[in-house]
Chains A and B, each alone.
Chain A
């Protein structure tokens, strides 16, 4: 487990030395979600209706923005090779990298979402559900995205391919994540949606690092 935490520490330290890369995704999220109320105008009923969808789509695209860099730098400078040959299991190191990616690209979105939700006239309980849904959903986005990032590693034009590969897989998270808030606003209760999100997350925590590791081994050959 020490190697797992060492990987998290390493990636956070590297991000700290190169802040702009992390801040890009966060600023993207803030700006995109702020453009919609400005473009649509002050219509509280309409804004409230489209809020969950917009916040979720923006979170999804912001996560996608950071994905190509997840393994690319380590691949180019050869540190990924060293990880593959390390006595520690590569799966553990990969899981550490995914956690670091979520802490850098996912967690800030979760923390910002309640503030940005205010622009859409969401009330406090709805903001709570939105935050909870993103808290369950963004790690799922990082986990699924890591598989795509590993599969497109070293491919020319990999960024576009990554989007084509990963975005369809994000659809269930988007439907249930945005659906949770919509159901709450409609007075139906968000429990079912959130449980499904949590179930998908549990499944992804188990399978995604393993699939990512397999894809990385192929990329290194």
Chain B
């Protein structure tokens, strides 16, 4: 489904990586590893199509990316909180869904927030939540937005032990339901199996 070949990226004069290739199929996940500054985040941004690659090709369902179909199948959560501090978690979820053109009823949004341990916080403005709780609001999008490919950049940052375990479970459920995931992390991930890519 996802085929990447010959990917290269440089920042200024410095070549971050070259000739990176991998492929993912239904139920598989990739753990992108590397030192600080080795280009993990750059790799993720190339992969989702936020920045152009120097060389290489990324194909999704045998079609070159980025395409609207790819974006429909993709969810990317990066370093940023990507939530609005002045809105409540519930408003954040429903507006994010509306912007993506997806119908999301309030019950489903509430259920996602409860699953991520934000029961009772759904009507508070996000700015009063802690960093870990903000991260959980963002992660709730994994449940409200149907997507095949999850690209999560350092998603385990700022999460407590329980949330790390929960995210591991969510990813495992996603994979067993026919999904795919590309993750970066410095820690060993609580998800069984998986390919590794060292930059």
Which residues of A approach B to under 8 Å, CB–CB?
A: 2-3, 6-7, 9-10, 13-14, 17-18, 77-79, 81-89, 93, 220-221
Q: B87 contacts which of A14, A78, A88 (Cβ < 8 Å)?
A: A14
CB contacts (< 8 Å) of B125 on chain A: these are: 17
**Is the pair B95, A10 in contact by a Cβ cutoff of 8 Å?**
yes
Q: Which of B71, B79, B85, B87 contacts A86 (CB 8 A)?
A: B71
Residues of chain B touching chain A, judged by Cβ–Cβ distance below 8 Å, are: 48-52, 68, 71-72, 74, 76, 78-87, 91, 95-96, 98-101, 125
Chain B residue nearest to A15 (CB atoms) is: B86
- CB of B98 within 8 A of CB of A2, answer yes
- Give the 5 A-B residue pairs with the shortest CB-CB distance, closest first: A78-B80, A6-B98, A78-B82, A17-B86, A87-B72
23 contacts between A and B (CB under 8 A): A2-B101, A3-B101, A7-B99, A9-B95, A13-B91, A18-B86, A77-B84, A77-B85, A78-B80, A79-B80, A79-B82, A81-B50, A82-B76, A85-B71, A85-B76, A86-B71, A86-B99, A86-B101, A88-B99, A88-B100, A93-B99, A220-B50, A220-B51
- Binding site of B, secondary structure by majority: helix, strand, loop or mixed? loop
Q: Are B87 and A87 in contact (CB under 8 A)?
A: no
A14 close to B84 (CB less than 8 A): yes
B50 touches A221 (CB 8 A): yes
Name the contact of A3 in the complex, choosing from B68, B83, B98 (C-beta under 8 A): B98
Q: A79-B83, A86-B71 are in contact. List 10 more A-B contacts (CB 8 A).
A: A6-B95, A7-B99, A13-B91, A17-B87, A17-B125, A18-B86, A78-B81, A79-B80, A85-B48, A87-B100
Residues of A within 8 A of B72 (CB): 87
A3 & B51 in contact (Cβ 8 Å cutoff):
no
Q: How far is the CB of B2 from chain A (nearest CB, A)?
A: 15
- Name A87's contact: one of B49, B71, B78 (CB within 8 Å): B71
**In the bound complex, do residue B78 and residue A221 qualify as a contact, i.e. CB atoms below 8 Å apart?**
no
A7 to B98, CA, bound (A): 8
Q: With a CB–CB cut-off of 8 A, which chain A residues contact B51?
A: 220-221
Q: What residues on A are CB-neighbors of B52 within 8 Å? A: 221
Q: Is the CB of A82 within 8 A of B71?
A: no
Say whether A78 contacts B78, CB under 8 Å. Answer: yes
Q: Which residue from chain A places its CB closest to the CB of B72 in the assembled complex? A: A87
Q: Is there an interface contact between A81 and B80, defined as CB atoms closer than 8 Å? A: yes
Q: Which chain A residue lies CB-closest to B81?
A: A77
A36 to B196, CA, bound (A): 69
Name the distance in Å between A90's Cβ and chain B's nearest Cβ.
10
Kindly identify which residue among A9, A13, A86 contacts B100, using a CB–CB cutoff of 8 Å: A86
Q: A13-B87, A220-B51 are in contact. Are A77 and B99 (CB under 8 A)?
A: no
- B74 touching A85 by the CB < 8 A rule? yes
Chain A residues with CB under 8 A of B81: 77-78
Whether the Cβ atoms of B82 and A6 lie closer than 8 Å is no
Residues of A within 8 A of B48 (CB): 85
Min CB gap A72→B, angstroms: 13
